[in-house]
Structure 1
Amino acid sequence: MIDLTSPVDCLKGVGKARSSRLARLEIETVEDLLHFYPRRYEDRRAISKLSEISPDSVCSSIVKVISVDSRVSSRKKMILTEAMVSDGTALVSAIWFNSRNLANLLAPGRSLGLHGRVSYKGGLRQFVNPEVEVLWEDRPPRQMGCIVAVYALTAGLSDQWMRTTVDHVLRDFLCAVDDPIPESIRSELGLIDLRLAIETMHRPPSPEAWRDARKRLAFDELFTLQLGLATVRSRRDKVVGAPALPCNGPLRSSLERALPFALSSDQSRVLDEIGGDMASDVPMNRLLQGDVGSGKTAVALLAMMQAVDGGAQAALMVPTSVLAQQHGSRIESMLSPYGVRVETLIGGLPQGERRSLLEDISSGDVNVVIGTHALIQEDVSFKKLGLVVIDEQHRFGVLQRVAIGTKGVPHVLVMTATPIPRTLALSVYGDLSVSVIRTMPKGRIPVKTRVIGEHKVDDLYGFMEKEIGRDRRVFWVCPIIEGSEHLDAGPLEDRFAALEARFGDKVGMIHGRMALSARQEVMRSFASGEKPILACTTVIEVGVDVPEATVMVVENAERFGLSQLHQLRGRVGRGSEQAWCFLLGKPKTTEGVQRLEALCRSSDGFAVAEADMAIRGPGEICGVRQHGITDFKVADLIRDVELLETARERAFRLVEEDRDLSSFPSLRDAVLRRYGRKLGIATTA
């Protein structure tokens, strides 16, 4: 018995060879084949008379075979199959290259549908390598006179074969598809039947019918995700046991008074939101968005002091060791006068030092721990973890956020300097409360951004010379460390040599392959001005804070994503002086040009993120593609904003009424199958 869960090689005409090719397209079961939707369509509803077709046009015609000739080309040793065909209005030829056994189908007198490009050959119009469908009196055409699907395929599979195979699957297995969406929701939103939607996506009778089918399937994808997020949030809201940490304790109040600047209205509002959450025994799960340099770290630091005031510990998790060390030394210098012990936990510590540090964390002797993902390893335990701050959440997996729950019941604050478009935030962080810092600190001057070509490098060197002469700093970012014959990109080692030749010992170099101690020394010499030019990779992308840095040069800028370029630009302009970002490169694609133009146009991170999502798609912005959160087959987070809002509202309402979806078993199974592991709800009680 074959059913929807059966492997595709059980289907007639598939076999082992084709099933391995289908596996490259992530098609492994019969159900996968049903949901492998076309990437585009060809409208073949207009059937052209042969007397009316013109060269260099693409058309469809219904013809009869007059004669067939198959031969081997003497020049290129390929099989040529040529047929003379007619529809009663004209005689034309059709030719195919290397189509073995095709001549057996093209018997004189047989009716065919032809679709393809027409050219002139010897004064006669000719179809060149057209798609051919044999027509039978008792069956309507399936690939002529209709809208035809075109699939994104791999080598060894043809559209014609895929259409035929999908037709068989639709005929034999579509009836087994269960519609998980409650009829009340389908009726309320005017959504068509799921089986009809699937069939219409593969064989749309009209553009209008296709739009109805697409809406239904896009809603299903968005609704399923929102149900998963609503389930996560609902289960968290039922959890108690987090430490209730009162606001305005002595440490937090003292630190706020000692800050060298007054908090902005946005920072104060966000701190009130966070403080209110942390004062409850229901664990906080909040996303803090703020552009580069907007003051998120100060907010996080005050929130951590609220935890310490309440007799709990705080942890700050960052994506790189360099950033952990930088935060560690700065935060320790700020908090040690108040008797707060701050330690840094990263990979690569000597075993004895690590063991001693873990004991002190476990005993509660350490108040604040700063580290990388090493913080959530099994051997790390806290006496009383009150707050976890995750900086640059997009660098961590969704499941790593879930893993925080193994360290007790802490409050969780997720921070990102990559401003996230609203639709993406609802799709990736929809289980979190959201706080946003929109305003920048007073006196911050927007960074001026310019695109320059390689021919301007000497002028750029001269500009850099003036800047370092005024005790300022320069970042020069390269996409790769060393040269490669496979990559057309400027290597860091070559640029470092060129900068050294011009500026001598004023140049330092840093990249991810260097030992941690070496990186720390380079960063120290850069910050102090001993080596005011830093040639580097994107290891400095987040968190590096040198107020004297006024110039950012990004080599081969077209190779970077827009949000990443905005992050790099955020490393300069953090003081009171005018700063510059020079994008060095020559984009070879329209997309590359659009990215650089968008960055030059705006310094608003939210506008940049919207443009980035429109150009590249959501998964590239915040690194969620690898986790499968936004990998939709049909839905589009740019064009389906209203549908997403509708799906979210219905999903959260449904989970509020039925937390475990026990009244909707098919819907619950669909959510768990798609997102159970990814959202950590598969085995959660």
Structure 2
Amino acid sequence: MNLNEQSNVLAFLNSKLPKFHSTILPKLCGGDRVMDLLFYRPLNYVDRSRLLSDAQVGEFTTFMAKVYEHQPPTFRGRPYKIVVESENQYVFVVFFNYSIKYLCKLFPIGANVIISGKLEKFAEYWQITHPDYVSLNINQFKEIARMEPVYQLCRGITNKRIGNMISSNLKGLPDLPEWIDDTLIKQKKWLNWRESIIKLHRPSSLTEAEVCRKRLAYDELFAYQLALRLARESHVKERRREFTISNEYKEQVLNGLPFQLTNDQIRAIDEISERQKSKYRMISLLQGDVGSGKTIVALFAMLNVVENNMQAALMAPTTILAEQHYNWIEEVLSCTDIKVALLTGKTTRKERKIIMNELASGILNIVIGTHALFQANVTFKNLGLAVIDEQQRFGVMQRNRLVGKGENTDILFVTATPIPRTLQQAMYGDVECSVLREKPKSRLPIKTATMNIKRVPDIIEKLKSAIDRGEKAYWICPYIEGSEETNIAAAEMRFQELQKTFFNKVNIIHGKLTQDQKDQVMFSFKRNEFSLLVATTVIEVGIDVPDATIMIIENAEQFGLSQLHQLRGRVGRGNKQSFCVLLYDNLSKNSSSKLKIMCESQDGFYIAEKDMMLRGSGDILGIKQSGCMEFKFADLYQDRELLNLAHNNAKSVMAEDKSFELLLDIFEYRSRLHFSKFQ
């Protein structure tokens, strides 16, 4: 296929759908192009291929029948019945909401009709209530008696409508050059790309549909892995600098620490130090379980940079988290001559001017801050390392704006959300990763228990005793997916109830508050101005109140496993015994398993794997919110083998090949390279 033919393919796939559809389809498919529509994968399939003689009660069937008679109801409110004859037996076709005129037109006496619907039995007779299809055109039998895809819908469109739209656009789908090795295609018994798209929407069996999905999932994963590799090659550049590590500051800091480093921390510090000494730009990921001590590891990476007469920046997503980092790091570095500053939206104009002058002149060694760090008027003399804390909470462009303030700046991404190995490989490709699993020896395991929500009065009594003893607690309110307003309403109702017992000892925090208001509530909590904090999930990550020892999570069955683990991690950060109570209401089998895992394990990586298995990959990190790729065909848990295959094959191909460029364009990864997480 030449360049002109490739352009025609992309023109077809990128062409806009009719205007009528453009208001509805973006809600469903994420866009209003032919490509968006054809990539809209069915949720499941209905098998309409069973004949009446082969079908069981509750199964779908499609059959030809002769209309025998109409039986209008004798009493108002009763159903209208039509008797049809098929395969020497009578079948009742039943309608509850009907127009007699319409039914007489649809079922003329003596006519042959095609009927498709779910088979029921009433007394000794077969029955179909409100059939899905009725057609007087007997030539449509094959069209109806097939595997019918079922799509997720929204108001304004039916399954039949979206199916017809897809079918009409499948007719013009062009053929493409094959980019998968022939050996692999034969081994997996895959169809070509065009046939896979067509038969995903019009399969002859569930097996064929799954084979087509697997083929398209591989294409998608292969394209993404190629894109990651191209981005890596483009942005991991060789540099001309001498980088030596004398550990002068490291020894000073270690001598002043009131605790010993864990083996995982020591290993991670050594790994990151070696990467910093490399002649190639470092792009590294530090992921650690809740409370595993990631900040001290990041600090030693920053000290290495300072030793080499460069500057380091640590960017956190919230003011309170930035201030926590600043206060701790400033205290730890008080034994050195290193100059540290805090730059946030709350920094006064006078302080900001001083900080910016010291950054530009090189007097300031380390700056810790929020989004204020990447503003246009912030200039570094020589930014050598950017540490991005809770990196999934920043947009790609935001991260790039900070990293772009230096030349070939090293990047250390930090996350407290344990990422399963499969998901890590999909998101980051070959980015080097250091993992912290161990907790400091001073940390006691959090005692976790489940209780029925009916026991809230008992819990309030025990909580009152604990608060009277000087302890602090969180009370997390129900999570209703996709409805922050409802979450807030639930929190406010619980807050009002708890005020009756705790009066001014209780406060509330939620997503409707401004960042300044949230920070003020958290600072007051840390300063012991109140003892019980009612909250939505806004406190999920990064909040460090060491003397908070009790976590109560209401309707815990509505949360994901990883989210429950993060919330539980807000306690157990000091040397006192901490507790987590998971309140439940209605437990399904799945919810019961989830809460059992929480009680049995505190290993965030194990919990993340289980969460991925239960909920799928997209929900672990909140893909839509974090700017990570949302896959159309691939499921990163179900398709782990395909991901490994795509990962390995991407290493061995020439990405300059024209067919691979087309693959990247079709899956739209090339446009993402410029804004890649590796920049």
TM-score by length of 2: 0.86
8 Å CA contact 1:293–1:570 kept in 2: the answer is yes
- The answer for the alignment partner of 2:671 in structure 1 is 676
The Cα offsets for residues 439-462 of structure 1, whole Å up to 9 and x where unpaired, read as: 222243210111224443443344
8 Å CA contact 1:342–1:367 kept in 2: the answer is yes
Q: CA deviation at 1:419?
A: 0.7
- The answer for the alignment partner of 1:667 in structure 2 is 663
Q: CA deviation at 1:267?
A: 1.0
Q: CA deviation at 1:256?
A: 2.1
Match of 2:17 among 4, 8, 32: 8
Within 5 Å, give how 1:563-578 maps onto structure 2: 563-578=562-577
8 Å CA contact 2:177–2:659 kept in 1: the answer is no
Return the alpha-carbon distance in structure 2 between the equivalents of residues 98 and 24 of structure 1: 32
- The answer for the alignment partner of 1:29 in structure 2 is 33
Are 1:65 and 2:74 matched, yes or no? no
Residue range with higher mean Cα deviation, 306-315 or 555-564: 555-564
Residue range with higher mean Cα deviation, 413-422 or 189-198: 189-198
From the superposition, tell whether residues 139 and 400 of structure 1 become closer, same or farther in structure 2 (CA, over 3 Å): same
- The answer for the alignment partner of 2:150 in structure 1 is 150
Q: CA deviation at 1:184?
A: 6.3
SS of the equivalent of 1:8 reads coil
Return the alpha-carbon distance in structure 2 between the equivalents of residues 43 and 385 of structure 1: 61
Are 1:203 and 2:198 matched, yes or no? no
From the superposition, tell whether residues 486 and 548 of structure 1 become closer, same or farther in structure 2 (CA, over 3 Å): closer
8 Å CA contact 2:106–2:134 kept in 1: the answer is no
Return the alpha-carbon distance in structure 2 between the equivalents of residues 625 and 67 of structure 1: 55
Aligned partner of 1:44: which letter?
Answer: R
Return the alpha-carbon distance in structure 2 between the equivalents of residues 196 and 65 of structure 1: 37
- The answer for the alignment partner of 2:3 in structure 1 is none
Return the alpha-carbon distance in structure 2 between the equivalents of residues 643 and 400 of structure 1: 32
Q: Runs of 5+ in structure 2 lacking a partner?
A: 1-7
Return the alpha-carbon distance in structure 2 between the equivalents of residues 416 and 683 of structure 1: 16
Residue range with higher mean Cα deviation, 385-394 or 85-94: 85-94
Are 1:360 and 2:358 matched, yes or no? yes
Return the alpha-carbon distance in structure 2 between the equivalents of residues 453 and 683 of structure 1: 46
The Cα offsets for residues 131-158 of structure 1, whole Å up to 9 and x where unpaired, read as: 22537676761221x3332222334444
- The answer for the alignment partner of 1:583 in structure 2 is 582
- The answer for the alignment partner of 1:476 in structure 2 is 475
The Cα offsets for residues 502-548 of structure 1, whole Å up to 9 and x where unpaired, read as: 44555555556667777666555544556444444444433333333
The Cα offsets for residues 245-270 of structure 1, whole Å up to 9 and x where unpaired, read as: 42233112211222112222211111
From the superposition, tell whether residues 676 and 243 of structure 1 become closer, same or farther in structure 2 (CA, over 3 Å): farther
Q: CA deviation at 1:181?
A: 3.8
- The answer for the alignment partner of 1:112 in structure 2 is 113
Q: CA deviation at 1:294?
A: 0.9
Within 5 Å, give how 1:446-485 maps onto structure 2: 446-468=445-467, 471-478=470-477
Residue range with higher mean Cα deviation, 433-442 or 110-119: 110-119
Return the alpha-carbon distance in structure 2 between the equivalents of residues 17 and 668 of structure 1: 29
From the superposition, tell whether residues 594 and 247 of structure 1 become closer, same or farther in structure 2 (CA, over 3 Å): same
The Cα offsets for residues 594-623 of structure 1, whole Å up to 9 and x where unpaired, read as: 443332221111121122222332222212
- The answer for the alignment partner of 2:273 in structure 1 is 275
8 Å CA contact 2:225–2:647 kept in 1: the answer is yes
Are 1:159 and 2:159 matched, yes or no? yes
Aligned partner of 2:42: which letter?
Answer: P
- The answer for the alignment partner of 1:13 in structure 2 is none
From the superposition, tell whether residues 299 and 231 of structure 1 become closer, same or farther in structure 2 (CA, over 3 Å): same
Aligned partner of 2:368: which letter?
Answer: I
SS of the equivalent of 1:615 reads helix
Q: CA deviation at 1:500?
A: 5.1
Within 5 Å, give how 1:480-491 maps onto structure 2: 487=486, 491=490
Return the alpha-carbon distance in structure 2 between the equivalents of residues 682 and 487 of structure 1: 34
Within 5 Å, give how 1:250-649 maps onto structure 2: 250-408=248-406, 409-468=408-467, 471-478=470-477, 487=486, 491-493=490-492, 495-496=494-495, 498-499=497-498, 501-503=500-502, 506-507=505-506, 523=522, 526-527=525-526, 529=528, 531-587=530-586, 591-626=590-625, 629-649=628-648
- The answer for the alignment partner of 2:5 in structure 1 is none
Q: CA deviation at 1:163?
A: 4.0
Q: CA deviation at 1:432?
A: 1.8
Return the alpha-carbon distance in structure 2 between the equivalents of residues 522 and 23 of structure 1: 39
8 Å CA contact 2:218–2:642 kept in 1: the answer is yes
8 Å CA contact 2:472–2:548 kept in 1: the answer is yes
8 Å CA contact 1:18–1:156 kept in 2: the answer is no
Are 1:131 and 2:127 matched, yes or no? no
- The answer for the alignment partner of 2:43 in structure 1 is 39
From the superposition, tell whether residues 202 and 507 of structure 1 become closer, same or farther in structure 2 (CA, over 3 Å): closer
From the superposition, tell whether residues 21 and 526 of structure 1 become closer, same or farther in structure 2 (CA, over 3 Å): closer
The Cα offsets for residues 349-368 of structure 1, whole Å up to 9 and x where unpaired, read as: 44444344323222222211
8 Å CA contact 2:418–2:608 kept in 1: the answer is yes
Residue range with higher mean Cα deviation, 174-183 or 377-386: 174-183
Return the alpha-carbon distance in structure 2 between the equivalents of residues 37 and 513 of structure 1: 35
8 Å CA contact 2:488–2:510 kept in 1: the answer is no
Give percent identity, aligned residues only. 37
The Cα offsets for residues 223-263 of structure 1, whole Å up to 9 and x where unpaired, read as: 111111111212223x1348654223311221122211222
From the superposition, tell whether residues 682 and 468 of structure 1 become closer, same or farther in structure 2 (CA, over 3 Å): closer
Residue range with higher mean Cα deviation, 32-41 or 495-504: 495-504
Return the alpha-carbon distance in structure 1 between the equivalents of residues 197 and 659 of structure 2: 25
Return the alpha-carbon distance in structure 1 between the equivalents of residues 544 and 437 of structure 2: 20
The Cα offsets for residues 72-120 of structure 1, whole Å up to 9 and x where unpaired, read as: 99968x9x98644222502334245458967555455554332223456
- The answer for the alignment partner of 1:12 in structure 2 is none
From the superposition, tell whether residues 516 and 202 of structure 1 become closer, same or farther in structure 2 (CA, over 3 Å): closer
From the superposition, tell whether residues 340 and 681 of structure 1 become closer, same or farther in structure 2 (CA, over 3 Å): closer
From the superposition, tell whether residues 664 and 228 of structure 1 become closer, same or farther in structure 2 (CA, over 3 Å): closer
Return the alpha-carbon distance in structure 2 between the equivalents of residues 176 and 605 of structure 1: 46
SS of the equivalent of 1:612 reads helix
Aligned partner of 2:264: which letter?
Answer: D
Aligned partner of 1:240: which letter?
Answer: E
The Cα offsets for residues 372-425 of structure 1, whole Å up to 9 and x where unpaired, read as: 222223222211111111111222234433444422221111111111111111
SS of the equivalent of 2:373 reads helix
Q: CA deviation at 1:326?
A: 1.7
Aligned partner of 1:670: which letter?
Answer: I
Return the alpha-carbon distance in structure 1 between the equivalents of residues 516 and 197 of structure 2: 58
8 Å CA contact 2:257–2:332 kept in 1: the answer is no
The Cα offsets for residues 194-217 of structure 1, whole Å up to 9 and x where unpaired, read as: 122222212222343333222211
8 Å CA contact 2:244–2:308 kept in 1: the answer is yes
Residue range with higher mean Cα deviation, 119-128 or 337-346: 119-128
Return the alpha-carbon distance in structure 1 between the equivalents of residues 386 and 263 of structure 2: 24
8 Å CA contact 2:71–2:83 kept in 1: the answer is no
8 Å CA contact 1:232–1:431 kept in 2: the answer is no
Q: CA deviation at 1:296?
A: 0.9
Return the alpha-carbon distance in structure 1 between the equivalents of residues 160 and 422 of structure 2: 37
